[in-house]
Amino acid sequence: MKPGIHPAYVETTVVCGCGNSFQTRSTKESGNIVVEVCSQCHPFYTGKQKLLDTGGRVARFEKRYGKRTAGSKAASES
């Protein structure tokens, strides 16, 4: 590797909005990173994630075309 072209790799403290903090290493010169969410407060990691049916797309599809099973169309044609 060429000397003098790589940034300094320093100890860095990451602080989350929830108050959680941890140590890591980074090339950021200040040695301090502030984030909004972390693995302690993000809904995906805490299990508080909820899935939303945006705009009721499934309900709208079922209203237009109704609920059909795989065998019902073939049975009605014969």
The percent of residues above 90 in pLDDT, for the chain, comes to 19
Domain ranges of the chain: 10-68
* Mean pLDDT computed over 41-60: 72
pTM above the 0.75 mark? Answer: no
CATH class of 10-68: few secondary structures
Tens of pLDDT, residues 1-37: 788 899 889 999 999 988 889 999 999 988 899 988 8
Pick from 41, 42, 22, 40: which is nearest to 32 by CA?
22
- Buried-state track 14-35, b at ≥16 Cβ within 10 A, e below 16: eebeeeeeeeeebeeeeeeeee
Provide the pLDDT for residue 25.
94
